[in-house]
Amino acid sequence: MAELLIDPGIIEAHNRQEAGGLAQDYEALSRSLARRGIDCEALLHKVSALEIAVPSWGVGTGGTRFARFPGPGEPADIFDKLEDCAVIQQLGRATPRVSLHFPWDEVADMATVSARGQELGLGFDAVNSNTFQDQPGQALSYKFGSLSHADAEVRAQAIAHNIDCIRKGAVLGARALTIWLADGSNFAGQSHLARAFERYVESVSAIEAALPDESWRLLLEYKNFEPAFYATVVQDWGSCLLAAQAVGHRARCLVDLGHHAPSTNIELIVARLISAGKLGGFHLNDSRFGDDDLDAGSVDPFRLFLVFNELVDAEQRQAWDEAPALMLDQSHNLTDPIESLMLSADAARRAHAQALLVDRAQLAELQARNDAAMAAETLRRAFRTDVTPLLAEARRRAGGAIEPVGAYRLSGYRKRVAARRPLSTGSGGGIV
Ligand code: RM4
Ligand code: MN
Ligand code: MN
């Protein structure tokens, strides 16, 4: 039995208040779905099975390049972070695993982290490396790059760090390493565009060779810009796909929703990566301009739905050998991170449920007849369905809160941890 950080009595009291209304709403939704030939209970089971990993770095308060405004009771280390993640899971029941970032989550003995995760009922998802910052005492600087650096010694140092992350991940029971590369240039001519990419692929191949076994995955991120402003080495899904294909079958692409230019058709990229057998995972978040790292579904829920629509379609066509890993990657500058992460997990499940509601047989027919209006309407009809009672009922049955933010506020958790966690400082910019 996992250690529970929120008194179950509080969740029960909260649920008692909400249960009557939920029962009515769930019943009404079941009836209206039945009229469309959809079994609400079957849908609930599918939705309950969707798991999303929480980023360890997401439970701290983020910031912009200009400032950071710390919140009360911020986690000071990975053990505090795990506690916050356990609260998210206890109330929301959609996020049973945590994704760690090194060296941010460094401890002397990784087995202690694994043991604490077990006590809290949490597992571990992909581990993340960090060669976008210099660490105190580091021999060589990453100022001019890491895995693609012109100097072989810097590349060797960055490769060694990634291999060390794999070792740590193995202790935690993780099965993937995610690499996001900040390498790039700010000026035309600063770096040789083709050679930098070749060096990156060579470095990633060396890391791939160090994966413990066949079940491990190497998830490669791409990002259109920032911190490099002229040319980023892995700037888009095309470069990412080329790299993943060159490195081998354990290397896959990871789509971070915030790593595209505004108005990019992300679901089309998702479809292409599925066709190529190279869709490895997601970093879910939302954005209006760049890598804004806002809560998933908070800016454009229709886009999130369209991404999940491709996933459900691929699943039903059996178009992949394995489903992509779903992880959140957000930075919370204004909100309580626990609340934002619970809301984002809910947004992901909502988009998934809506995508499961698409009448695919009808859609295929309409597409074959080139009935653009009704094909679009078929998608929108699914998107417009309010599945809130279904998501709440899934949580309730799993022992979570009908309305997680309400129950969380009732619990006073943030105030409790603020009393014992040291206040963090406000200086410095945020994470990238
Ligand atoms: C990057 C990227 C990575 C994340 C860092 C903190 O923009 O999204 O996934 O590890 O930010
Ligand atoms: Mn990311
Ligand atoms: Mn990012």
* 354, 308 Cβ separation under 8 angstroms: yes
> What separation in Å is there between the alpha carbon of 280 and the centre of ligand 2?
13
| 50: nearest Cα among 97, 82, 13 | 97
Q: How far apart are CA 277 and CA 208, in angstroms?
A: 17
- Which ligand is the nearest neighbour of the Cα of 283? 2
Q: Is the CB of 282 under 6 A from ligand 1?
A: no
Q: How far is CA 94 from CA 243, 271, 300, 401, 415, in A?
A: 32, 25, 21, 11, 24
> What separation in Å is there between the alpha carbon of 432 and the centre of ligand 3?
6
Nearest CA to ligand 1 atom 9: 180
Choice from 221, 226, 255 to test ligand 1 binding pocket (greatest atom count within 8 A of CB):
221
Q: What is the pLDDT of residue 426?
A: 63
Nearest CA to ligand 1 atom 2: 180
Q: Is the CB of 295 under 6 A from ligand 1?
A: no
Q: Is pTM beyond 0.85 here?
A: yes
Beta-carbon contacts of 210 under 8 Å, excluding residues fewer than 6 positions away, are 162, 163, 166
Nearest CA to ligand 1 atom 1: 432
| 91: nearest Cα among 335, 299, 391 | 391
Sign of the C-alpha dihedral computed for residues 90, 94, 95 and 97 taken in this order: positive
Q: What region does 284 belong to: left with phi over 0, alpha with psi -120 to 50, or beta?
A: beta
Q: How far apart are CA 125 and CA 96, in angstroms?
A: 9
Q: How far apart are CA 6 and CA 401, in angstroms?
A: 11
Nearest CA to ligand 1 atom 5: 432
- Which ligand is the nearest neighbour of the Cα of 287? 3
Q: How far apart are CA 56 and CA 200, in angstroms?
A: 26
Spell out the alpha helix ranges (H) of 60-218: 78-92, 110-120, 152-172, 193-208
Give the amino acid at 329: D
Give the amino acid at 113: V
What tokens appear for 302 in the block?
């229709």
> What separation in Å is there between the alpha carbon of 171 and the centre of ligand 2?
23
Q: Is the CB of 256 under 6 A from ligand 1?
A: yes
Q: How far apart are CA 103 and CA 371, in angstroms?
A: 53
Long-range contacts, 377-385 (Cβ 8 Å, 24+): 379/306, 379/309, 381/357, 382/305, 382/309, 382/354, 382/355, 382/357, 382/358, 383/302, 383/305, 383/354, 385/33, 385/354, 385/357
Spell out the alpha helix ranges (H) of 225-336: 237-247, 266-275, 301-317
Choice from 283, 287, 294 to test ligand 1 binding pocket (greatest atom count within 8 A of CB):
283
Give the amino acid at 428: G
* 87, 363 Cβ separation under 8 angstroms: no
Q: How far apart are CA 59 and CA 104, in angstroms?
A: 13
Q: What is the pLDDT along the chain (432 residues), one digit of tens a residue?
A: 899 999 999 999 999 999 999 999 999 999 999 999 999 999 999 999 999 999 999 999 999 989 999 999 999 999 999 999 999 999 999 999 999 999 999 999 999 999 999 999 999 999 999 999 999 999 999 999 999 999 999 999 999 999 999 999 999 999 999 999 999 999 999 999 999 999 999 999 999 999 999 999 999 999 999 999 999 999 999 999 999 999 999 999 999 999 999 999 999 999 999 999 999 999 999 999 999 999 999 999 999 999 999 999 999 999 999 999 999 999 999 999 999 999 999 999 999 999 999 999 999 999 999 999 999 999 999 999 999 999 999 999 999 999 999 999 999 999 999 999 988 876 555 554
Q: What is the pLDDT of residue 1?
A: 83
